[in-house]
């Protein structure tokens, strides 16, 4: 199959436009059988977002799906310096109410396979440089959090923000020293799919990188919590380690995973979550903020 012109292709099929993932790409359901994603550089203002779509295309091109079977089936992939076209099989999404211990085992087994897969050549060496935060960046994050907390006056203590800010670059340095693996980078329930046989597939690889596996785990838990799905962190770690040990025949230290998960969650929450919590109800803010404070205590005990 060759798609020379996206508009001509769409005119010949039953389509439904959907809005998912990062802004900038056009995404369609085609004949209720395929998903078509088209990203054009001239319509994407943010260079980083364009680079992420290009990274995803290069990843799909580099990966052998017969080895890494959790990659969606691709019908067509083509990219140039100006346009990316991706056509893949349509799967159903994994629903939040399906997240039980059996489903978690499936999900953890799948992400373990990702973390154990060799890095594609184009990702080797990426993300290897330690990137500390500047004083200005740290202050911006503190102010962002203070604005969120001020929407719920006298409910949340602000003192922990000072301690987190003071220790942020130490936390980043500690986390950077973890073993680097192939990671998804945006691992959450909305990016999990299921085929007709019940196998888990993972989509939206725009953030794939050479990184720390605990980052995928901590973000997975954080996103579930923000959607009011509460899973024991210890259960996640235990299931992940069990799957990892079974897959590799070696022992992985659960305490080390927990320490790096705490560091990863601290970094992500401090840097980014305040941007998404404006006008949120107090319970949603509490889940994220209290977890960030808990992670700080975990980091202090390492």
Quickly state the pLDDT bin for 127 (edges 50, 70, 90): low
Q: Residue 217 and residue 264: Cα distance in Å, rounded?
A: 9
pLDDT at position 173 is 94
- Asked whether residue 250 is assigned to any structural domain, the reply reads yes
- Asked whether residue 150 is assigned to any structural domain, the reply reads yes
Same domain, 42 and 156: no
Same domain, 234 and 168: yes
**Res 106 pLDDT > 90:** yes
Name which of 217, 209, 249 is nearest 117 in CA terms: 209
pLDDT at position 128 is 67
The residues with which 27 forms a beta bridge, in sequence order, are: 18, 37
pTM of the model: 0.83
**Res 22 pLDDT > 60:** no
Segment 24-68, tens digit of pLDDT: 889 999 999 999 999 999 988 889 999 999 999 999 999 999 999
Segment 190-237, tens digit of pLDDT: 999 999 999 999 999 999 999 889 889 989 988 888 788 888 888 999
Comparing 31-45, 192-206, 248-262, 283-297, the range with the smallest average pLDDT is 248-262
Mean pLDDT value across residues 269-297: 93
Same domain, 68 and 127: no
Average pLDDT value for the chain: 91
CATH code: domain of residue 269: 3.90.1200.10
Comparing 76-80, 94-98, 247-251, the range with the smallest average pLDDT is 247-251
pLDDT at position 232 is 86
Question: Which domain, by its residues, includes 11?
Answer: 6-90
**Res 140 pLDDT > 90:** yes
Same domain, 171 and 271: yes
Same domain, 173 and 217: yes
How many CB atoms are closer than 10 A to CB 213? 27
Same domain, 140 and 54: no
Comparing 46-50, 57-61, 112-116, 182-186, the range with the smallest average pLDDT is 46-50
Domain boundary among 60, 90, 120: 90
Q: Tell me the backbone φ, ψ of residue 255, rounded to 5 degrees.
A: -65, -40
Same domain, 160 and 277: yes
Same domain, 10 and 107: no
Same domain, 71 and 133: no
- Asked whether residue 109 is assigned to any structural domain, the reply reads yes
Domain boundary among 31, 58, 90: 90
Mean pLDDT value across residues 147-176: 94
Mean pLDDT value across residues 274-289: 93
Q: What single string gives the DSSP state of each residue in the chain?
A: ---S-HHHHHHTS-EEEE--SSTT-EEEEETTTEEEEEEEGGG---HHHHHHHHHHHHHHHH--TTTSTTSPPEEEEEE-SSEEEEEEE--EEPPGGG-SHHHHHHHHHHHHHHHHSPPPGGGTTTT-S--PPPHHHHHHHHHHHHHHHHTTTTTS-SHHHHHHHHHHHHHHHHHHTSPPEEE-SS-SGGGEEE-TTS-EEE---TT-EEE-HHHHHHHHHHHHHHTT----HHHHHHHHHHHHHHHHSS---HHHHHHHHHHHHHHHHHHHGGGT-TT--HHHHHHHHHHHHHHHHHHHT-
- Asked whether residue 244 is assigned to any structural domain, the reply reads yes
Mean pLDDT value across residues 105-109: 96
Domain boundary among 90, 111, 136: 90
CATH code: domain of residue 13: 3.30.200.20
- Asked whether residue 1 is assigned to any structural domain, the reply reads no
Same domain, 186 and 114: yes
Tally of structural domains, the chain: 2
């Amino acid at each position: 199959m060759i798609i020379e012109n996206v508009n001509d292709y769409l005119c010949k099929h039953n389509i439904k436009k959907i809005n998912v993932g990062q802004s900038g790409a056009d995404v369609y359901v085609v004949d209720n059988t395929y998903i078509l994603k088209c990203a054009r550089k001239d319509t994407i203002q943010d260079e980083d977002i364009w680079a992420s779509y290009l990274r995803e295309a290069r990843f799909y091109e580099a990966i052998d799906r017969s080895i890494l079977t959790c990659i969606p089936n691709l019908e067509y992939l083509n990219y140039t310096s100006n346009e990316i076209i991706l056509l893949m099989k349509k799967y159903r999404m994994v629903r939040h109410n399906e997240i039980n211990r059996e489903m978690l085992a499936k999900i953890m087994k799948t992400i373990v396979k990702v973390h154990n897969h060799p890095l594609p050549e184009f990702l080797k060496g990426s993300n290897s440089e330690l990137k500390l935060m500047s004083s200005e960046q740290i202050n911006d994050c503190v102010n962002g959090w203070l604005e969120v907390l001020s929407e719920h006056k006298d409910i949340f203590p602000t003192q922990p923000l000072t301690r987190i800010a003071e220790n942020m670059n130490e936390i980043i340095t500690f986390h950077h020293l973890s073993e680097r693996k192939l990671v998804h980078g945006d691992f959450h329930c909305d990016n999990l799919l299921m085929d007709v046989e019940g196998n888990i597939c993972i989509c939206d690889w725009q953030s794939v990188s050479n990184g720390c596996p605990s980052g995928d785990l901590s973000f997975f838990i954080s996103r579930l919590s923000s959607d009011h799905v509460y899973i024991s962190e210890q259960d996640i770690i235990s299931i992940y380690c069990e799957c990892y040990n079974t897959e590799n025949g070696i022992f992985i230290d659960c305490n080390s995973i927990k320490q790096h998960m705490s560091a990863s969650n601290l970094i992500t929450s401090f840097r980014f979550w305040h941007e998404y919590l404006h006008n949120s109800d107090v319970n949603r803010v509490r889940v994220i903020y209290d977890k960030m404070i808990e992670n700080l205590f975990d980091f202090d005990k390492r």
